[in-house]
Amino acid sequence: MSGLFTLIKPFVESAAGEGQITVSDVNNLVPWKQTNPIRVKINQANFQLLGSDGGELESHIVIDTGEKTGKMEVTTNYEQAFVLAETEEEAMDRIEETFLMLDKITDACATNIIRGLVVSGPPGIGKSFGVEKQLAAANMFRTLEGRDPKYEVVSGGVSPIGLYQKLYFNRSKEQVLVFDDCDGVLFEEECLNLLKAALNSGDKRRICWNKESRVLQVEDIPEVFDFEGSIIFLSNIDFEKSIAKGSRISAHLEAIMSRCHYMDLEIGSQRDKLLRIKQIIRDGMLAPYDFAPQQEQEVLVFINENAEYLRELSLRMVKKVADFVKADPKGWVEMAEATCLQREAKFKRLLAKRTEAAKRGLVLAEQV
């Protein structure tokens, strides 16, 4: 579709870098027809946003169409305005500084200065690796002495009674309990109540289990104890956006944010993820592979050229591609295409090859 259409709902970006807008289904050139909203899948570069005077609005201008308030407002997206003015090197330095700040805050958790931290960011950008690396460094001497480190990482699903047990076994000072990929607890009422109690900002954080439990009896765990440790919660959920949208757990997210420190790693768009990948490769991520500079560049080029079709745009995907380069320096591209790309990309390439072969055949026929 093409033409001038009235905007009903602004552009909403999807995880793959594309998105949709909602417009009137009638072109403004025929305003006498009855209008209905229609959603259009589109890339942000494929449409222009015009003001009431017909002039093009810059990309950092945000249109609130008044869907909730009933009043249309024009505001500025300051983050986008800033990002548009920075170079790639500046952006990578900014992202690196953000992760260095995460390292410092993790150290503060390891010494019990900070007792609660939520880190928000998409999967596969290095949240877990950075936090675990800092905690391991903080416990280096304990490890060398053969003692257990004073931190534990919990991943996956956690039941309320399981959470209570983890809190008890990590209750002492300078103990850090890390929840990684445990977003499910945010949707479980009992888990949330336990988590909020453990993150309480008061001097005493008392945790209670007011139900009979054989599990606690067997483990000799009391029904009441004081939690003095620190908690780091690594989440794929953007708390601020979820609260702004009024999701069903927004009240709980607000309660958690009010009890602890909240850090957004500021990586949401495809561009941010690609720059994070480039920054990590620049800082030596692929050094263990002992690649030549050209091979590192080939990995980065493959990720950039196929970002739209990768099964996952992440640091994990970079390692998968690097594994293939190490295994077969000459034939790795075919291996990577077969396993790392979505099905659509495969057929896109087959179609391109067929088209190219047809062109070559046509040129050959003309020459004959």
Structure confidence by residue, pLDDT tens digits, 200-213:
877 889 999 988 88
Residue-averaged pLDDT of the chain: 83
The predicted structure's pLDDT at residue 366: 58
pLDDT of residue 32: 47
Token pair recorded at residue 19: 């998105």
**DSSP tag of 148:** P
- Residue 146 has phi, psi (to 5 degrees) of 80, 15
Contacts of residue 145, defined as CB under 8 A and 6 or more positions apart, other chains included, come to none
What's the pLDDT tens digit per position in 10-41? 777 665 556 777 877 666 555 545 567 788 88
Biggest CA–CA distance in the chain, Å, is 90
Side chain identity, residue 149: P
Closest CA to 9 of 42, 31, 37: 37
Amino acid, res. 257: M
The model's pLDDT over 129-188, given as tens digits with 9 standing for 90+, comes to 889 999 999 999 989 998 999 999 998 888 899 999 999 999 998 899 999 988 888 888
pLDDT at 175: 93
pTM for the model: 0.73
Q: Picking from 13-27, 193-207, 214-228, 243-257, which range would have the lowest pLDDT averaged per residue?
A: 13-27
Q: Domain extents for the chain?
A: 7-84, 88-264, 284-363
Higher pLDDT, 40 or 83: 40
Q: Which residues pair with 235 in a beta bridge?
A: 120
**H or E element that contains 38:** strand 37-42
CATH dotted code for 88-264: 3.40.50.300
Mean pLDDT check: name the lowest of 166-175, 225-234, 358-367: 358-367
The whole-number pLDDT of residue 87 equals: 83
C-beta separation of 143 from 149 below 8 A: yes
- One-letter amino acid identity for 6? T
When mean pLDDT is compared across 168-172, 181-185, 232-236, 363-367, the lowest value belongs to: 363-367
> Per-residue pLDDT for 75 more than 70?
no
Helix (H) or strand (E) holding 99: helix 88-110
